[in-house]
Amino acid sequence: MRYSGFKVFTEGLFGNKGWQPAWREPQPKSEYDVVIIGGGGHGLATAYYLAKNHGITNVAVLEKGYLGGGNVGRNTTIVRANYFLPGNSEFYSHSLKLWEKLEAELNYNVMHSQRGQIVLFHSDGQRDAAVRRGNSIANQGDDAELLSRDQLKRMVPYLDYEQTRFPIYGGLIQRRAGTARHDAVAWGYARGADARGVDLIQNCEVTGIDIENGHVRGVQTTRGPIRAKKVAMVAAGRSGQVAAMAGMRLPIESHVLQAFVTEGLKPVIDSVISFGMGHFYISQSDKGGLVFGGDLDFYASYASRGNLPMLEHVMEAGMTLMPMIGKAKILRGWGGIMDMTPDGSPIIDKTHIEGLYIDAGWNYGGFKATPASGWCMAHLMATDQPHEVARRFRLDRFRTGHLLDEEGTGSQHNLH
């Protein structure tokens, strides 16, 4: 079924009785060419591009809960391409270009909104770093623009410009950055993959990975064994647990990251704003809620819930930057499990086991990577060669020393 404004209109006229489920609920088959462990954004995007770009459709995505119940449905939805280092910058640049065509590609409204992201700076040193980053982004072919304090005052007048502790000197804006509706991205990819023949199996936890003579043979699941020629581990915060089933120990720590949303308010914030001196960034959802978050809770955990000290820390930073937020009432807070690598950059690679692949280490920035991650993982699995924009995301870089240390955003607390 093709979605369109005309379809919405005619369905409205006839009682909305013509809609069909967005994907099937198939029983797992005993064998597939490819099994993908994890029905988050990256797993679903990998399945979609395997089918769409490479014609590989005998694929199952195995999800232990429901599609979109993991981090893809828990993030604060920021989409940007403002990375500094070669390796990261071309990858996220590729991803942003895919985002810009995603709704047409998937025939699905993912509410991608290029409302701009402003990263504030609060000292001469931070301004120098922002200029350097802006030049690097421009060299990659993406947009970056320095805003003076006066320009900022006109654009976002509600920030506290008079505070003396962290005076605002200006900001670096990427106008093509913005937000998207997080779970709609999972649903859009799920629908597109299903339409091309991929089996999406929910409530199917992988409990073991079968390996014989260095080759992957399939997986054990709560719904029985499934044989597969190739298996992809795409389990984000639970990557360490899944890889352990193949006897692997990953350079990944799992940490909790929290987010918060207020009651719905009239439109007030029309961009994404990141505080340069505290752990706070904010946007406003299309429903009106102010959506904001901060830094990791900083202890390794598989519990997707946060703690009160970090809640207090984020609220303090919000009040420092934007005192008007003190009048808003918080509706909800939640946590997700972040797969943190030591250098803050991801892994898209083969493993030492033939036929077993890994896509992990997305830290707190994997939502914006969803299209390119799926694109590059599908390329790797179909051709056994890394895609050119993901060739530095190697698993062995932590052993060989070829780190992609973007800005100390990895799992080491002392580097934040």
* Positions in the binding site for ligand FAD (CB under 6 A): 37-43, 62-65, 69-72, 74-78, 205-206, 234-238, 242, 257-259, 293, 336, 362, 364-368
DSSP state of 314: H
Closest by CA position to 79, among listed 392, 285, 277, 366? 366
Quick one: 7 or 305, whose CB is closer to ligand FAD?
305
Measured from the CB of residue 343, what is the shortest distance to ligand FAD in angstroms?
15
Quick one: 43 or 400, whose CB is closer to ligand FAD?
43
Measured from the CB of residue 283, what is the shortest distance to ligand FAD in angstroms?
9
Quick one: 266 or 338, whose CB is closer to ligand FAD?
338
Measured from the CB of residue 83, what is the shortest distance to ligand FAD in angstroms?
11
Is residue 98 within 8 Å of residue 371, measured between CB atoms?
A: yes
The gap between the terminal CA atoms of the chain, to the nearest Å, is: 47
Closest by CA position to 34, among listed 13, 51, 17, 20? 51
Rounded to whole angstroms, the Cα distance separating 391 from 402 reads 12
Residue of closest CB approach to ligand FAD: 40
For residue 356, give every residue at least 6 positions away whose Cβ sits within 8 Å of its Cβ, in sequence order, or none: 209, 211, 216, 230, 231, 233, 246, 350
Quick one: 238 or 394, whose CB is closer to ligand FAD?
238
Composition of the chain by helix, strand, coil, percent to 5: 30, 25, 40
Rounded to whole angstroms, the Cα distance separating 160 from 338 reads 31
Measured from the CB of residue 162, what is the shortest distance to ligand FAD in angstroms?
29
Measured from the CB of residue 15, what is the shortest distance to ligand FAD in angstroms?
34
Quick one: 257 or 322, whose CB is closer to ligand FAD?
257
Quick one: 193 or 257, whose CB is closer to ligand FAD?
257
Measured from the CB of residue 158, what is the shortest distance to ligand FAD in angstroms?
21
